[in-house]
Amino acid sequence: MTTPAPRLLIITRDRSDRLGEGPTWSARENALYWVDILGQRLSRLDLASDAVTSWEMPDTIGWVVEREDRPGFVAGVGRRFVALTLDPVTVQPIAAPEDDREGNRFNDAKADAQGRIWAGSMPFTCDRPSGSFYRLDTDGTATRVDDDYTIANGPAIAADGSFLLHTDTALGTIFRYPVNDDGSLGPRTPFIVFEDAWGSPDGMTFDAEGGLWVGCWGGSCVTRFTPEGKRDRSIALPASQITSCTFAGPNLDRMFVTSSGDGVDEAAGGALFEVDPGVRGLPTLRYRG
């Protein structure tokens, strides 16, 4: 089932990531953004020129989400939701739901069609369930919608908004939540439980056919699951710690995959890859606050 990618590129740059994560496509800039969480860095790949630009951050940075009607991003910096602008780097707090959880950090997030952000937190040590799952509404209010995560990852939001998926990598499980009209969540149920040979589920995204693409930490691949949750196919990669993936390009037919080089001796560990997914993705949504 796991086969070499028809096209596999390693993006040329002068560094690798300790913990690459959170790739997100900016259609208005024709660029891909992604973070190095432990390296405290945000990077940008210009798809027209292939130029890579990076900015140092004041703390760990788990993700960025573009803003709909304002410049810059909302980002998970340290344990806070912040407004982030670049050139120069400025950080303004929006919400601090984790200030009482020293030792935690934000890890991954996505926006939905209503312009809200869904974000998970986790402990640096990856060894206790002190992380949570949050919804950031467009008025800047952060609500804890679930708790007891050890390594929060994902999320992925269905195209029609009726449900979302969120992962606890430590449990090897992708969970499914119904999303109610008021933004509250229904009961959490297991959707995909990884087998040991697959690695562990990390960041993920839906394609336009309803397939779910998952970065497989320890599995050296990105894997597609059918809308029913059946393992469909995998694209092998020359790094073991694969962290996330996203669709990019004007036609949303290019896939970029992040990885981590932390703690491994691999030539491609921490690289940013481009692969050919053979399917189109969904548009990247923005925060409307």
Q: Where in the sequence numbering do the catalytic residues fall?
A: 202
The two tokens of residue 216 are 């497989």
**Please, are residues 165 and 112 in contact by the beta-carbon 8 Å criterion?**
no
For 214, counting Cβ atoms within 10 Å of its Cβ (0-12 exposed, 13-18 middle, 19+ buried), the class is buried
3-state secondary structure of 198: helix
Specify the pairing of strand 73-77 against strand 152-157.
unpaired
A 10 A CB-CB count for 130 gives: 19
Q: How far apart are CA 200 and CA 193, in angstroms?
A: 9
3-state secondary structure of 151: coil
Return the half-sphere exposure (C-beta side, CA atoms, 13 A cut-off) of residue 168: 22
Q: How far apart are CA 251 and CA 100, in angstroms?
A: 43
3-state secondary structure of 169: helix
Q: How far apart are CA 163 and CA 271, in angstroms?
A: 32
